[in-house]
A and B are shown apart, each in its own frame.
Chain A
């Protein structure tokens, strides 16, 4: 009953008044950030990094975690109301959520999104408690071969699930890996592709890239439309009906399980999880024929999945020290800033931080449900701000976010370049997600690969003879070749 006492101790940490306060701040900020298009949790966490430096580590992590799962609640709001996903993970919620709004059922959609998020968020915290310590022990058996295979699988999955075309997604992933080689090489420290620029010595920073590809590119794309094309729908009934609950039960359960495991895998994360859940519902939901025409399943499933994934993605971060996605990379940066090295030893070295953070998620999810149901009305007011006035504010957030990374204007230039690039990529039908993920995983992947080759004297054989690595590579091969899965998943649902 070691774990039980650890959990109780965790609650004691999470329920300290200061920690409750930071949890509240985190989930409120997260919800707002989730609502605002073009400003995501990764950007926000980057923005708040300098602030958290002044806090003690547990408070900082509790607050930042709150921002992440809080944003999963808020992200659906704009998807449902105006068909603009507040977060990429709420993209698929647009399909049925907005259709529900058009049918005067915005209240039901928003309510179900919050409830599904709550159920999935809470259930996956239990999963996190059960799985994380196990995975932590399991992780000790991981050598460079397993890490490399794991990252290759993660990259393949996100490329596979994340876009309209496998070929394009893979190309984006390779571009991201190439971009990750900019700067000093991780083994010998030799300069690569820096072209004499001082800023590039440490590699390309993630925050400007992310803000450019998502925030700025989004603003540029919106600018194509005439400024007055903003339309708001009024929510009708406030809560989902009994029938809605009945229809949503199975999608929420499926979305939670699917989301949690996809969140645990590196490269998974909330976006992939929500897409996968939508695809699953298209196949299994009771009213699958109505999906896309305002079916509650199309909101409940993906919203459950993205929340479960948000929680699940803490598993690899806390136990392996591997960020599963961009936001977790930011969390890793925050932890490192405080001198904490996440990894297999974290649970035994910092139980207060580990269990305190996890138990604070229970609290956070309850807070979010209480917060989100009545606050829906207020969020609509934010959206009433005309886009021409909202847009410069979004751009400004991105500019400050990029600048605050190192305090150099060069970072802002990087962001603007990636913004323009991201806009062009969108126009050509490319997804930015595989690129960003590859940029994150590039360095650790190269390091693991070179280490593995050095240890095995140049032989690739251990990748196939070590059981865990073999399983991971087989999964990669299956993901790349299974034509059935390709037909089901390679095309985004419409």
Chain B
């Protein structure tokens, strides 16, 4: 951790996390406001969540304080470089796309598409490998899980 380039990032790690957690704590406290505290002998549904929200707020303030006081304290790694970040973003988009489409397009087609994107564009493999793994991956997993293990997979448009 002697690399000076890491410093601003490290300071941010505690600050970003502290701020985000503080928001979560406030959100939980406010949203939980409609729930009753109950009494100390009969704690209501709002008791535990709001006690936790207060505890989280305290911890996030401590994180923020540490982030301000010791920039560069402990960050594990840097963020990825340009190409790496693009791969991660594409992968994230692919996963969200899968969730959106699997209900309507069905398991087989969406899974094949997942393989195509991951092997071709994220993994940078050729088309032969892509189509082969796509076909084997979707059909094979369908047979294994859908048929053999009888998991109810989303049917959607096309199911044999």
A454 within 8 A of B: yes
Q: Which residue of B lies closest to A48 (CB)?
A: B149
Q: Report yes or no: A223 in contact with B41, Cβ–Cβ below 8 A.
A: no
Q: What's the Cα separation between A190 and B49 when bound, in Å? A: 13
Q: What's the Cα separation between A446 and B38 when bound, in Å? A: 14
Q: What's the Cα separation between A175 and B18 when bound, in Å? A: 12
Query: Given A192-B32, A220-B88, A412-B102, A400–B114 Cβ distance below 8 Å?
Result: no
A482 within 8 A of B: no
When distances are taken between beta carbons in the complex, the residues of chain A under 8 Å from B62 are: 167
Q: Return the contact of A426 from the options B44, B76, B118 (Cβ within 8 A).
A: B76
Q: Report yes or no: B55 in contact with A174, Cβ–Cβ below 8 A.
A: yes
A483 within 8 A of B: no
A468 within 8 A of B: no
Query: Given A168-B17, A193-B31, A387-B123, A224–B88 Cβ distance below 8 Å?
Result: yes
Would you list 28 pairs from A and B whose C-beta atoms are within 8 A, ordered by A residue? A50-B150, A164-B76, A167-B62, A171-B17, A171-B63, A190-B35, A192-B49, A223-B91, A224-B81, A224-B84, A226-B83, A386-B125, A391-B123, A392-B118, A392-B137, A393-B137, A399-B114, A400-B145, A407-B152, A409-B102, A412-B99, A416-B99, A426-B76, A427-B77, A428-B16, A428-B17, A450-B48, A458-B39
Given contacts A391-B123, A428-B16, A430-B17, 17 further A-B contacts (CB under 8 A): A50-B149, A171-B17, A175-B56, A178-B56, A187-B45, A216-B95, A223-B122, A225-B84, A226-B84, A388-B118, A389-B119, A412-B102, A419-B95, A420-B95, A423-B88, A426-B76, A458-B40
A185 within 8 A of B: yes
When distances are taken between beta carbons in the complex, the residues of chain B under 8 Å from A192 are: 32, 35, 45-46, 49
Q: What's the Cα separation between A407 and B146 when bound, in Å? A: 12
CB distance from B61 to the nearest CB of A (A): 11
When distances are taken between beta carbons in the complex, the residues of chain A under 8 Å from B79 are: 427
Q: Report yes or no: B75 in contact with A174, Cβ–Cβ below 8 A.
A: no
CB distance from A63 to the nearest CB of B (A): 14
Q: Report yes or no: A395 in contact with B118, Cβ–Cβ below 8 A.
A: yes
- Per-residue A-contact encoding for B96-107, CB less than 8 Å = 1, 0 else: 101100110000
B53 within 8 A of A: yes
| Top 6 A-B residue pairs of the complex, sorted by shortest distance between their CB atoms | A388-B123, A458-B40, A224-B80, A224-B84, A185-B45, A458-B41
- Per-residue B-contact encoding for A164-178, CB less than 8 Å = 1, 0 else: 110110110011011
Q: Return the contact of A227 from the options B39, B98, B99, B123 (Cβ within 8 A).
A: B123
Q: What's the Cα separation between A399 and B52 when bound, in Å? A: 31
Q: Report yes or no: A224 in contact with B49, Cβ–Cβ below 8 A.
A: no
CB distance from B118 to the nearest CB of A (A): 4
Q: What's the Cα separation between A47 and B153 when bound, in Å? A: 13
Q: What's the Cα separation between A192 and B36 when bound, in Å? A: 11
Q: Report yes or no: B92 in contact with A220, Cβ–Cβ below 8 A.
A: yes
Q: Which of A390-436 contact B (CB under 8 A)?
A: 391-393, 395-396, 399-400, 403-404, 407, 409, 412-413, 416, 419-420, 423, 426-430
A4 within 8 A of B: no
Summed over the interface, the residue pairs from A and B with CB atoms below 8 Å come to a total of 174
Q: Which residue of A lies closest to B56 (CB)?
A: A174
Query: Given A185-B45, A392-B115, A396-B137, A409–B152 Cβ distance below 8 Å?
Result: no
Q: Report yes or no: B59 in contact with A400, Cβ–Cβ below 8 A.
A: no
Q: Which residue of B lies closest to A385 (CB)?
A: B133
Q: Report yes or no: A392 in contact with B119, Cβ–Cβ below 8 A.
A: yes
A51 within 8 A of B: yes
Q: What residues of chain A have their CB less than 8 Å away from a CB belonging to chain B?
A: 47-48, 50-51, 164-165, 167-168, 170-171, 174-175, 177-178, 181, 185, 187-188, 190, 192-193, 216, 219-220, 223-228, 386-389, 391-393, 395-396, 399-400, 403-404, 407, 409, 412-413, 416, 419-420, 423, 426-430, 446, 449-450, 453-454, 457-458
B47 within 8 A of A: yes
B4 within 8 A of A: no
CB distance from A172 to the nearest CB of B (A): 9
Which secondary structure dominates where chain A touches chain B?
A: helix
Q: What's the Cα separation between A458 and B40 when bound, in Å? A: 5
Q: Which residue of B lies closest to A54 (CB)?
A: B150
Q: Return the contact of B124 from the options A174, A388, A412, A419 (Cβ within 8 A).
A: A388
When distances are taken between beta carbons in the complex, the residues of chain B under 8 Å from A165 are: 74
Q: Report yes or no: A396 in contact with B99, Cβ–Cβ below 8 A.
A: no
Q: Count of chain B residues with Cβ under 8 Å from any Cβ of A?
A: 70
When distances are taken between beta carbons in the complex, the residues of chain B under 8 Å from A228 are: 124
Q: What's the Cα separation between A223 and B121 when bound, in Å? A: 11
Q: Report yes or no: A177 in contact with B52, Cβ–Cβ below 8 A.
A: yes
Query: Given A407-B152, A416-B96, A224–B85 Cβ distance below 8 Å?
Result: yes
Q: Report yes or no: A413 in contact with B92, Cβ–Cβ below 8 A.
A: no
Q: Which residue of B lies closest to A449 (CB)?
A: B48
CB distance from B139 to the nearest CB of A (A): 12
Q: What's the Cα separation between A435 and B13 when bound, in Å? A: 18
Q: Report yes or no: A50 in contact with B151, Cβ–Cβ below 8 A.
A: yes
CB distance from B100 to the nearest CB of A (A): 9
Q: Which residue of A lies closest to B53 (CB)?
A: A178
Most chain B beta-carbon neighbours within 10 Å: one of A174, A175, A413, A427: A174
Q: Return the contact of A400 from the options B42, B115, B151 (Cβ within 8 A).
A: B151
Most chain A beta-carbon neighbours within 10 Å: one of B43, B111, B149: B43
CB distance from A334 to the nearest CB of B (A): 15
B109 within 8 A of A: no
When distances are taken between beta carbons in the complex, the residues of chain B under 8 Å from A453 are: 40-43
